Amino acid sequence: MIHVEKIDNTIEELIITGIIVDTGFLQNIDRAIRPEYFVTDVNRILVSWIKEYFKENKVSPGEEITDIFRLNQGELDEDESKTVRIFLNKISKEYEGREFNSEYVLPKAFKYLELNAYDYKVKLLKRELRRGNLEKVKHIFNGATKDIFEQVTAWKSLSDISLLQSWWGEKQEPAMSFPGELGIYMPNIERGRLYAMLGPPKRGKSYWLMEWAYNGAWDGLNVVFFSLEMASHEVDARWKERISAKAIMPRRNREFTIPVKDCVHNQKNTCQIEQCTSPGTCVYEDKLRESYDDHPEHVACTYCEGIDDELFKPTYWMEKTTLARLSLKEASTTQEQFDDHVGKDRIRIITYPIASATVQDLENSLNELERHENFIPDLIVIDYADILKEDLKLGDKRHRVGDNWQKLSRMAKVRNAIVVTASQGNRSSAKKNRLDVDDVSEDFSKVMTIDGIFAINEVNFDQPDKWQVDKNWQIQRIETIALRYGKFTPGLQCVVMNDLARAQIHIDSYISWK
C-alpha cells in the first residue's frame, strides 16, 4: 500500500488521498463520505470509485487506484482524465512509503464534510421549496440534523465491530528511531507525545534537538524546527555541519579529536584474543585511564563486539584526524544528497528572538504552513520551551512556564505529531553527575506533563585529573528519568560519543550501567 502525509492542494484532495492510501482512515470516514458533498465533478467520481471498491474489498485501493482509473476512464472527459492522472501520479511517485497522518486529518475532514452536508441539504430544501412540495420539504428539514449527526458524529460504540476492525492489526512501530545502541536504548518514539531533553546550560541541548530533527527526517517524517535562540543562518550552518560532518569555521592545524568505541580488556592489556589490536599496551595507571596523548601507540579494538558479549566490554578512546573546512560546494552537494534520500523541503525552520514567541505564535505558524503549502508536520522540534514567551496574566513564573508546557502537550495530541523540546536544569544540576526529575527547573508540573524526559549527563565534572572528566573525552550519558508510556530502568544509560566542533552529537554509542 502507498502511504501519504503531504498534499499540495485542497482539503478535498487531502480526504481523497487518505481514502486511497489508508484503510483505517477510510473505515472511520466512510459513513460521512457522499460524492455529493464534494465540490468538483472529478472528486465526486473518484469518491464513488473508491467507495465501490471499499464496499467489495473492505480495504483502501492503494496502488490499485491506477487500475480503477484505467477501467473507468471513459466516464471522464480529456481534461478530467488529465487532472486525475496528475493527481494519482503525485501520490504514487512522491509519497510512496510515507505514513498518512489520519488522526490529525480525520477531525478536519469530518468538519468539512459536515459543512458540505448541510449545504447540500439546503440546496435540496430550496429545490423542493421552488417546486412547492411541502411534504418533501418537511421530510428533508426534519431528518437533516439526525442524518448528518449519524454521518459525522465522533461518538463510537464499543459494540461496533467496525471500530475494532479500524485499528486491529496495525503495526506498533516507533514513528522514528536513532542510530547505534542509542536506538536500542531509547523508548518507542510515538506520535501524540511530548518529549524533552534535560540538561544544565551549555550541555548541548540544541545539538540534541537538531539530532531529533535529522533522524526524524531520515525516517521519512515531515519536520519543523522552531529556533527561539539562533538566527536562520545559524541554524542552517549547524545543520550543514551535521549532515556533512565537517566544520565551517577553519582550524589552525585542521586537527580534530574523534571519540571511538574501544574495549576495556584492550585498554588494560588483559585481552587474550589474537586479533586484539593493541597487545602489550596498557593505558591505565592504577585504576585511572590516562590521556590519549600519552598513548599514541594505542589502537581501539572492537573485534569481539557482536561476537562475544562476555569478552567485549565497551568503553571509549580518542583518535585524531585532519579535516579540511566545509566548502560551499560540499555543503550544497551534501544537502542535495540528503534531499535525494528523504525528499526535498522535508525540514522547515523558523526563528524567533528569545522570549518573543508564544505557543499560540507557533500554532499560527504551523497553520500558515499547512494552509499555504499543505505541509503537515510529523515531528515538531522547539529549541527550546523554557524561553517561550509567558502569559503574564497567570501569576508567578512557575505557573506561566507550566502553562506553556501543557499547551505543547496539547499541540502534540491535537496534531498527532511528535513534539520534542528541551528543559533547562536548575542551578544545582550543573554540579551533578546524574540528573533526575528534581533537577527540572521552575514548575515541577512539567514532569507530570511531559511523556518522556531524557537527561544529558556528564560525570566527574569536579575531578582534578581532567582525563577523568567526560567532557574532555567528548562523552555524554543519556538517561531516561521519566516515561509515561512503557518501562525504563533507573541507572541504565547510553554512553554517546560526540564531536561538537563538527556538530556531531552522536558518533557512536553503547549501553552501560552507572
Specify the CATH number for the domain of residue 373.
Answer: 3.40.50.300
pLDDT, tens digit, 9 for 90 and up, residues 113-144:
988 888 888 888 899 899 888 888 888 888 77
Q: Of residues 290 and 421, which shows the higher confidence score? A: 421
53 and 149 inside one domain: yes
Count the alpha carbons within 13 Å of 272 in the hemisphere toward its beta carbon.
3
Query: pLDDT value at position 348?
Result: 96
193 and 58 inside one domain: no
The residue written with cell numbers 505557543 in the block is: 359
- If pLDDT is split at 50, 70 and 90, which confidence band does 1 have? very low
**Which of 275, 298, 322 is the last residue before a domain boundary?**
322
Residue 506 counted as domain residue: no
Q: Is the pLDDT of residue 360 over 50?
A: yes
150 and 266 inside one domain: no
- If pLDDT is split at 50, 70 and 90, which confidence band does 461 have? low
Residue 502 counted as domain residue: no
**Which of 116, 139, 167 is the last residue before a domain boundary?**
167
236 and 358 inside one domain: yes
Question: What's the rounded Cα separation, in Å, for the pair 87 and 81?
Answer: 10
Query: pLDDT value at position 54?
Result: 94
Query: Per mean pLDDT, which range of 214-218, 444-448, 449-453 is the poorest?
Result: 444-448
Question: What's the rounded Cα separation, in Å, for the pair 487 and 484?
Answer: 8
384 and 333 inside one domain: yes
Q: What is the domain count for the chain?
A: 3
Query: pLDDT value at position 80?
Result: 86
Question: What's the rounded Cα separation, in Å, for the pair 4 and 22?
Answer: 8
451 and 383 inside one domain: yes
Q: Of residues 94 and 301, which shows the higher confidence score? A: 301
Question: What's the rounded Cα separation, in Å, for the pair 246 and 327?
Answer: 9
Using H for helix, E for strand and C for coil, what is the string for 185-218? HCCCECCCCEEEEEECCCCCHHHHHHHHHHHHHH
DSSP string, 82-139: HHHHHHHHHHHHHSTT----HHHHHHHHHHHHHHHHHHHHHHHHHHHHHHT-HHHHHH
430 and 488 inside one domain: yes
Retrieve residue 205's grid coordinates.
541541548
Retrieve residue 329's grid coordinates.
560546494
Cβ atoms within 10 Å of 349's Cβ, excluding its own: 17
Domain that holds residue 18: 11-167
Mean pLDDT, range 315-323, rounded to an integer = 93
Residue 175 counted as domain residue: no
Query: pLDDT value at position 6?
Result: 42
Burial, 487: exposed, middle or buried (Cβ in 10 Å; 0-12, 13-18, 19+)?
A: exposed
345 and 476 inside one domain: yes
Residue 151 counted as domain residue: yes
188 and 108 inside one domain: no
- If pLDDT is split at 50, 70 and 90, which confidence band does 79 have? confident
Retrieve residue 65's grid coordinates.
487506484
Query: pLDDT value at position 416?
Result: 94
**Which of 137, 167, 197 is the last residue before a domain boundary?**
167
Mark residue 323 as left, alpha or beta (left: phi above 0; alpha: psi -120 to 50; beta: remaining): beta
| Residues contacting 182, CB < 8 A, separation 6+ | 478, 494, 496, 506, 509
317 and 360 inside one domain: no
454 and 429 inside one domain: yes
- Do 10 and 90 contact (CB within 8 A), yes or no? no
Residue 85 counted as domain residue: yes
pLDDT, tens digit, 9 for 90 and up, residues 167-203:
776 656 788 999 999 999 999 999 999 999 999 998 9
- If pLDDT is split at 50, 70 and 90, which confidence band does 373 have? confident
300 and 378 inside one domain: no
Q: What is the percent of the chain with per-residue pLDDT over 90, rounded to a whole number?
A: 50
- Do 359 and 404 contact (CB within 8 A), yes or no? yes
Residue 499 counted as domain residue: no
Residue 4 counted as domain residue: no
Residue 497 counted as domain residue: no
Q: Is the pLDDT of residue 4 over 60?
A: no
- Do 404 and 446 contact (CB within 8 A), yes or no? no
Kindly report the pTM of this predicted structure. Answer: 0.85
| Residues contacting 492, CB < 8 A, separation 6+ | 185, 479, 480, 511, 512, 513, 514
